[in-house]
Every structure is written in structure tokens, then in C-alpha cells.
Amino acid sequence: MIKLTAWLAFALAPLGASDFDVLIRNARVVDGAGNAWFRADVGMKGGRIVAVGRRGSASADRVIDAKERVVAPGFIDVHTHIEGSVEKNPRGDNFLLDGVTTVITGNCGSSELNLAAWFAKLEKLGLGLNVASLVGHNSVRAEVMGSANRAATPEEIRKMQALIDRAMRDGAVGFSTGLEYIPGAYSNTAEVVALAKAAAAHGGVYTSHMRDEGIHEIEAITEAVNVGKEAGMPVEISHLKVDRRSVWGASDQALALIERFRREGVDVVADQYPYDRASTNLGIRLPHWALAEGKIKERLADPPTRAKIAAEMKANLQEMGEPDYGFATVARFTSKPEYEGKTIPEVAKPRGHAADVDGQIETIFDLMNAGGAGMIYKLMGDADIERIMRWPWTAIASDGGIQQLAVGRPHPRSYGTNARVLAEYVRQRGVLTLEDAVRRMTSLPARTFGLKDRGLVKEGMAADLVMFDPAIVQDEATYAKPHQYATGFDCVIVNGKVAVDEGKATEARG
Ligand SMILES: [Zn+2]
């Protein structure tokens, strides 16, 4: 037996074993820290980066000639939603081909609750990406309280804390809220602080899809920061934006406030996706109270309540500065996929409703009665997007999920976030330098979430790398045709395994 094993080892690793498993030669290294690029070779062994420098005479099982292309740390996307989609495509092609090697999921208050069981299941599937998860407030609250529209009792707080404590012990990296969604919207700040403390006890980060991203954004930022201060944990503001036409431009006040908190010693940063449209459910257009206890159908069937919901929706439209629901496009409506890609005014007609706002609200009620819909909303202005992107502590993150080619009409951000920043905001508009953009995709998110051995091209770090030509890298996904992989990421390495080779996903599961 010993002899056979020795023979096998000999056969698999021929005499004079290589210096490296993989060696990338002739690279321009963008190290992730924000430093100016430098020329070097990068050697990897055992899933780690073991050499960065001139290694002209070294041998390797696989040598990749970068031919002056950029080699950067694999991108760390700290804002994703892969629950339910990773099982269908564990390799995560849309992320890999956008240069992503690590995702953090469980954002916006929505996560798996039994993380130990979920992680075990994912291990068996064989993942293409590194995955970490937050534990989500809405998932925890739904488990303990359903969609009750009231404050939690002390007993319910204890039960929710116990679920968060277990998730943190199972490896969660922090606690996320989605306070614009049901049932998180029914909670008060005291509840959020009490729950955040259960995650802070294990060194977790607090990430928040805030209560408001428009007219009341200043109050919402203050709440998020206060949760971090009171619970004693770092804060990441999720997908920072100004999502009301009526207050476009307000990002300067928002960033000034966050800067003030930072000067006072609060560790608060943000993430952002580089698009002018948001993507979420249809229910978010209705008043929160209308969705309580899952009784939306009953409420819509009661004429006075239906009229009250419609009146509040009209008032909200006015507050947003929108003339009608032309900003709202159906992304996913499984019972009538022909609606996908159409705006609410465009769907009103085939539903037999008038094209005016009243008819559009009736259309929304129809879709809610049919179980709701996935939506894309044109809500953000260019000036705010660029200003938020220039702020030094904004990480690039997609807010996307793992996609299956040709299923639904998802937001293009799942396919093209990083390529779009490099093509549009670095190459075309010059909003960021290449080195700074890469920093926001790598070492900044690694710092925030405590991923100590990722996010830099440096000896000893995990061998997560991406290789691309900054002159041609390009996002291809659009709102009209989202199922298009980004192009230009020629090589992506995950824990030393070549996961994308010559621009194509391989069978390797890093
Ligand atoms: Zn969100």
C-alpha cells in the first residue's frame, strides 16, 4: 500500500516538482491597496500567492503570459443575494466572468437562517466562488413574528437574538437590515440595536438597506450610524443612492453627514452599484401597513381600504416627483412573462385599464393580487451616482444574484457591475483611476468584512486573481438584454484554480 501511494505521488508530481502551481508572467500588477501599478510576475502554490516580483527562471505547472495585461486581486462583491440561485448555478458564471471571486450574501435583511446547514449543502454542490453570509433581520423577524405590524416584545427580542447568535457562531460576518421592506419596516431602532448587539458580540459588521433613500435619507443615515455606535460595530450603508427625482443632488448632504460621523470616530462606509436604476419587488410601491400579515388581497378586496391604499400611492408618486409609473418596468412576472420588459403604463392597456395614474394603480393591484412581481425602477440621477462613487469609502458591489442564462429580465448589475465601472467610470468618464477603482473592489471590502487574507496581490494572500486589459474590458448586459456576460476578464483564479481561462468559465471549482 505504501509502495503504491509512493508510486502514485511520483506519477502525479514528476521529478523536479515545479516552483509554482501557476505562474503569471509579464503582468502589470494593480495590488488592490490603491498603489500605482508595477510590473511583476505572480507565483501561486497551494492556493496562496507565494511570490510577487521578477521570477524569470522559475518553473510552474501552468504558465500564463499576461502580455502586459493588468493582474489584480479577485473582486470581492460584498452586496449580493445568492440565496435560492446559487443552488441552480453553483459556479456563479455571471460573477466569475465579471471578475468576482468572493461574494457576501444575506444583504438587505434577507438571509438563510440555518447557515451551518446551508454552508454544508453549498460545500457539497461545489462552489465556483468564495461565499460568506450575513444574517438578515427580516428573515429572523419573519421566523419569530411573521409579518406582524407592531413592536417586538422582550421575549421576541430574546428569540431573535438567539437566532442571530447561532448564525454568527455558524460563521456569519454580520447583521443586515432591510428597513424599507416587510417586516423590517415594522421595527423600531431599539429593536435593531438590541439585535445588532448579538452580532457585535462576535465581531460582526452592521449593513443596512436603510429605511429611506430619498426625502428622509438624512434621518435614515443617522439611524444606521446610531445602531453601529450603540451596538459597537462597523457600519456599511448598502447601495448608497438618492432614489427620488424630487431630491436629486442631495448626495452632497448625505456624504457630508457620513464624513462628520467618520471624523467623530464612527467606522462607517458604503457600497454602490454603478447604474441609474434600482431593482426590487413591486410591493415596495405600496404603503407598508397594507402588506402586514400577508393580507394584501383581503385589503384590496375591501373598497374603502383599496381607495386608501391608492390615495397613499398617489401622494407618494407626487412626493417622488414622478408624473406616473413610467419609471417602473416589470423584470419578473412568471404567470405572464410577456409583461417582462414593459413599464406599468404599458401593462395597463392589455389588462384593460386606462393609461392614466388611476389605471396604472389598478394594474399594480392586479399584479399584487397575482402574487407580486420583480421590478426595475429608474430612480437615480447621474450627478449623485458619480459623487457617491468618488467618495473614497464607497465599495463597488452589485446587489445582484447568480443568474441562469435567459431566465427573466433581471437587472444587468448581476452581469456587469465591475466591468461597467472599469469601462464607463474609469476609461470613458475618468471618474476614478484604475488603481482606485480596483481598491474599491478588493481591499476596501476585505477590510470592512475582516477578510484578512484576501483583497491584495501580496505574498501569503489567497490566490484569488483577475487578469484583464483595461483598454477593452466591457460590460455587455443592458436593461433590454441583460443576459450578456461581461467581456475582457481573460483569466480569473479562485484559490489557485483557474476558473476563467481565455475568457471562458472552466470546470474548476475554486
Ligand atoms: Zn437592498
Q: Which residue has the higher pLDDT, 55 or 268?
A: 268
Ligand 1 centroid, distance to 65 Cα (angstroms): 40
Residue 17 CA to ligand 1 center (angstroms) comes to 49
SS3 178: strand
CA atoms within 13 A on the CB side of 386: 12
Q: What distance in angstroms lies between residue 350's CA and the mean position of ligand 1's atoms? A: 31
Tell me the sheet residues that pair with 27.
Answer: 40
What is the 86 CA–ligand 1 centroid distance (Å)?
Answer: 18
Q: Please say if the pLDDT value at position 4 is more than 80.
A: no
Q: Is the pLDDT score of 10 beyond 90?
A: no
Residue with cell 502580455: 67
Residue 139 C-alpha to ligand 1 middle, in angstroms? Answer: 14
144-155 pLDDT, tens digit per residue, is: 999 999 999 999
Over 60: is that where the pLDDT of 251 sits?
Answer: yes
The conformation of residue 151, written as its DSSP 8-state character, comes to P
What's the confidence (pLDDT) of residue 190? 98
Instruction: Tell me the CA–centroid distance for residue 260 and ligand 1, in Å.
Output: 24
Instruction: Give the global pTM.
Output: 0.93
Residue 48 CA, chain-centre distance (Å), reads 26
Instruction: List, as ranges, residues with CB under 5 A of the ion ligand 1.
Output: 108, 209
Share of the chain above pLDDT 90, in %: 94
Q: What angle do CA 180, 182, 185 make, to 5 degrees?
A: 50
Instruction: Say whether pLDDT at 2 is over 50.
Output: no
399 Cα: distance to centroid of ligand 1 (angstroms):
7
CA of 308 to the centre of ligand 1 (A): 27
Alpha helices in 232-328 (DSSP H): 251-263, 296-301, 303-320
Task: Dump pLDDT digits (tens) for 328-348.
Answer: 999 999 999 999 999 999 999
Question: What does the alpha-carbon distance between residue 442 and residue 430 come to, in Å, rounded to a whole number?
Answer: 20
User: Does residue 227 carry a pLDDT above 60?
Assistant: yes
Cα 295 to averaged position of ligand 1 atoms, centre (Å) = 23
Q: How far does residue 279's CA lie from ligand 1's centre (Å)?
A: 9
Cα of 381 vs centre of ligand 1, distance in Å, is: 18
Span from the CA of 303 to the centroid of ligand 1 (angstroms): 32
pLDDT at 285 exceeding the cut of 70:
yes
Once rounded to an integer, what is the mean pLDDT over residues 150-178? 98
Instruction: For residue 109, report the distance from its CA to the centre of ligand 1, in Å.
Output: 8
- For the record, the C-alpha cell of 69 comes out as 495585461
Closest CA to 39 of 50, 48, 23, 52: 52
The answer to whether 157 and 141 are in contact (CB under 8 A) is no
Q: Where are the beta strands (DSSP E) in 78-183?
A: 100-105, 130-133, 135-136, 174-178
d(CA 205, CA 270): 12
Per-residue confidence (pLDDT) for residue 406, from 0 to 100 = 84
The Cα–Cα gap between 351 and 342 comes to 13
DSSP string covering 189-221: HHHHHHHHHHHHTTTPEEEEE-S-SSTTHHHHH
The residue that leads in pLDDT, 404 or 501, is 501
Cα separation, 107 vs 399, whole angstroms: 8
